Amino acid sequence: LPWTVISDVLVLDGLTLQIQTVDPTGLDWTQVLISATAQFLPNIFTGEFDFAVGLQKQASWEVSTVSGTYYGVVDLGSIVGGILGSQSSVPPALNAIQFSNFGVNATRGATGSPFTYSFYGSAQVAFPILDSQLVAQLYVAVSKTSNGSSIQLSGALAVGDQSFSLSLDLGTAGSK
């Protein structure tokens, strides 16, 4: 039976429940985990994520964490276009950079409030400049809350023995 965590964004399927009870000194500690697979933002990610849902007992059992991983590859233009509906904020030279090793976290501010999510991925790229290659380690981080979306590109560029940090806000057109 599928479980909708975020409408139209995250519906968990293939749920497996794991319950672990530890009671060495009468603490009566119980950990509950649910593993599942799910499509997450299928307009961006073509495969399924592996998810883990942590439950914690307060007055009743509540979802404490929802996290997932995806090892496929997605280019920067598709990420930005899928979130904003347009790739116009991505400089053409960066549009085709392939990111992988994605993680996603869904959280909520209070019990019963809607979930918000963030996801991130990484890439190692080489930019040809004159007769050499500049190597960069890049990270993309996307956050979606009730207030809107944030898309940040960050990383470091190596030139010889020197390293230069870079940061680019891709959340709005004309970003620098």
pLDDT 10s digits, 85-105: 999 999 888 999 999 999 999
Checking if the pLDDT of 56 tops 70, the result is: yes
> Residues 100, 119: contact at Cβ < 8 Å?
no
Per-residue model confidence (pLDDT) at position 63: 80
Counting Cα atoms < 13 Å in the Cβ hemisphere of 142 gives 24
Average pLDDT over residues 24-43: 82
Average pLDDT over residues 11-39: 81
Q: What are the tokens at 16?
A: 């497996």
Average pLDDT over residues 38-49: 92
- List Cβ<8 Å contacts ≥24 apart for 17-20: none
Q: What are the tokens at 67?
A: 């996290």
Selected residue with higher pLDDT from 134 and 43: 43
Q: What is the mean pLDDT of the chain?
A: 87
Per-residue model confidence (pLDDT) at position 139: 97
Checking if the pLDDT of 176 tops 80, the result is: no
Average pLDDT over residues 155-174: 84
Alpha carbon separation from 48 to 4, 8, 13, 59, 119 (Å, rounded): 15, 15, 10, 33, 14
Average pLDDT over residues 13-22: 83
Cβ-based neighbour number of residue 127 at 10 Å: 13
